[in-house]
Amino acid sequence: MNLEEKRTRLKNLLEDNISVGNVGTAIAITGSWGVGKTFFWNSFRDEVNFKKKYVYVSLFGLESLSDLKTHIYSNIENNHSALEIPRWIRGLPSILKDTRVSQFGVSASAKVFDSLMFNQVKDAIICFDDFERMSNKLDIKDVMGLANQLKLEKNCQVILILDEDKAEGENKKKYAEYKEKLIDETIIINSVEPLIRANTQDMDEPLIELMVKFADELGVHNFRFFQKVIKLYKQFREQLPETVADSTKEIILVRILQGYFIEEFGISYEFDWEDIKIIIKDKQKDWSGQKVKTYESLFSINSYFLRSDEWLNEFKKWFNQVGTLDFELLNQLANSTLISEENNKHKDNFHQGCEDFWGLKVDKKFPDNFYEKTRLVIGLENLSNLSFALKILEIFNIDVTTLEQEIIDWLKGKIEKDISGFRLYDSFGEVRPIFKKFVETYELDKEKLPNLIDAIFNIHVRQEWSNKDELSVQKASKEDWEKILFDEIPQDSRFDSINSSYIVKKVLEREKGSDLGEQIRNVITEIYNEKGQTDEFYKSYMDFLITRLDN
């Protein structure tokens, strides 16, 4: 049953009961937190006017059954009659309750007035919401009991909006007991699509469809997630020219969805930044069922979710950093050649060529065509993808020497232009040895990088760092590490509450699984071993620290 059918079902249920007369009903609108249950009900009311008295009751903040009753009759709206109790009269009980003079009978009078006013509530539509945020002082048994009274004795149409899975402990048990007696019909809301569409009327339809498909395929039906996605997309879109390629908009939205998905659901869905690459099924045999399902779902939504490129590198930097969005950086990226329609087409053609290779769709023209497709994405694709492309060409006995040199020339220009913007280990997957060697042996001007101790402080203590800090760690020599571990950290007041061993642990945790992490671990092991050989006193101590590197 789609949402339109559910609206029709709800409309028919209410109309049938109202037309019969003197027949109340109770309908539960259920669904997960953030899926849009309240939005569904409010939009339904905007479309359908039953000409009935109506009151919306948020249980949040109400602390007693008396408060609940007072809220109902004080806020009821008469939609069909000119005869209505003035609001100043309806507000008297709350005034009287605040007057704590019970010895003069004021409190008793308030209770009598309360009862008289509530007795006037009948033939109304009453919606109870926010069960999940209900105060512990208000018993769900009392709420359900009152709803039952309104239904059976007051001829009211009662709507209960709640997430049944959120009820816990005794409340869950009490709800289950009353549900069978009270609830006549349940409408389940399991799609966040209406909320997405209502909040994206100024966005292109293909982008809206992309978010809806993302929600349905992955089961992400919490609109608060999509609120963040939509907000960041619109902020980023403001940095772009008024006219921009459709494929560019798509890439931006994919990267934002990707970042927030990893941030909020990465652990439960078993998906992280390093999983963003095309992996053949033979390499997936050791994966869990959840990981395979996530991977296949993302690929079916949009293949960009599993492609790594410069856009991915830039968005990953932001999502992994602490602080506000760097719009200066985003503006530079938005206006770079990376987002031109022509380059997007080049990348699409390149990835199609890779898919043709794996899909056995190659012919005799493929090697020459793929050579040209690879040449056109130098500077657009990362080193991993370019390395893989060269490997494919070599399978067909194509000489790739010229392509290798073009890639090295691009690397040289990129590093010289902005050493802080280049990181070898941003490339997901295997990198061709010739490129690794070039980057690792390239002579950088050390004066352009911060000292290692300052970089370590920014990354692991302040937790506010730049690309130059990361590059400083990447390019640190054995002498640099030895100096900060035994001389600088012990003497630097910024590290008074942190020891060298702890810093080593944090560095290795951050680079776990990467070539850089293994390189740093080997260097520090070598430093500890050499320190242990200088004096028998240090040997056992250094051996102990080495064992700690694996924990």
CB of 306 closer than 8 Å to CB of 385: no
- Quote the pLDDT of residue 448: 66
pLDDT tens by residue, 74-101: 888 765 443 344 554 444 455 445 444 4
- What digits encode the pLDDT tens for the residues 276-285? 887 877 788 8
Q: List, in order, residues 6 or more apart from 271 with CB less than 8 Å away.
A: 261, 262, 265, 291, 294, 295, 298
pLDDT score at 341: 72
Does 15 lie in the same domain as 77? yes
Taking residues 3-30, what's their average pLDDT? 88
What is the reported pLDDT for 134? 87
Q: Evaluate whether residue 494 is within a structural domain.
A: yes
CA 541 to chain centre: 44
**Domain check: are 461 and 433 in the same one?**
no
pLDDT-derived band at 363, boundaries 50, 70, 90: very high
pLDDT band at 549 (very low <50, low <70, confident <90, very high): confident
Cα 134–chain centre separation: 27
536 falls within a domain: yes
Q: Which two tokens stand for residue 117?
A: 């006013």
Provide the terminal-to-terminal Cα distance of the chain, rounded to the nearest Å: 53
- pTM, 2 dp: 0.59
CATH number, domain of 85, equals: 3.40.50.300
Residue where one domain finishes, among candidates 263, 296, 325 = 325
Phi-psi region of 438 (alpha: psi -120 to 50; beta: other; left: phi over 0): alpha
Supply φ then ψ for residue 38, to 5 degrees.
Answer: -65, -40
Which of 394, 427, 445 finishes a domain?
445
Same domain, 402 and 279: no
Whether residue 472 has pLDDT greater than 70: yes
Q: Which amino acid makes up residue 428?
A: F
Q: Is residue 101 part of a domain?
A: no
Query: CB–CB of 35/223 below 8 Å?
Result: yes
- In a domain, residue 331? The reply is no
Reported as a pLDDT band with limits 50, 70 and 90, residue 112 is low
Q: Which of 402, 426, 445 is the last residue of a domain?
A: 445
Confidence of residue 32 (pLDDT cuts 50, 70, 90): confident
Mean pLDDT of the chain: 83
Question: Does residue 40 belong to any structural domain of this protein?
Answer: yes
> Does the pLDDT of residue 206 top 90, yes or no?
yes
Query: Quick check: 468 pLDDT over 70?
Result: yes
Owning domain of residue 412: 343-445
- Residue 3 in this model has a pLDDT that exceeds 50: yes
Handedness of CA 495, 496, 497, 501 (dihedral sign): positive
In a domain, 241, yes or no: yes
Which residues share a beta bridge with 157? Answer: 25, 125
Q: What is the per-residue pLDDT across 510-544, written as a single tens digit (0 to 9) for each? A: 888 788 888 999 999 999 998 888 877 788 888 88
Residue at 411 is within a domain: yes
Confidence of residue 495 (pLDDT cuts 50, 70, 90): confident
Of residues 331 and 250, which shows the higher confidence score?
A: 250
Could you read off the pLDDT of 207-263 as tens digits, one per residue? 999 999 999 999 999 999 999 999 999 988 887 667 666 777 888 899 999 999 999
Residues 267, 302: one domain?
Answer: yes
Residue 219 burial class via C-beta count within 10 angstroms: exposed 0-12, middle 13-18, buried 19 and up: exposed
Residue 16: partners with Cβ closer than 8 Å, 6 or more residues away? none
Which H helix or E strand runs over 459? Answer: none
Q: Are 130 and 222 in a shared domain?
A: no
Q: Are residues 469 and 518 in the same domain?
A: yes
Q: What is the number of structural domains in the chain?
A: 4
The H or E element that residue 88 is part of is helix 87-90
The least confident of 33-47, 113-127, 314-328 is 314-328
Q: Is the same domain home to 237 and 375?
A: no
Structure tokens at 497: 């509450």
Give the span between the Cα atoms of 459 and 481, in whole angstroms.
Answer: 15
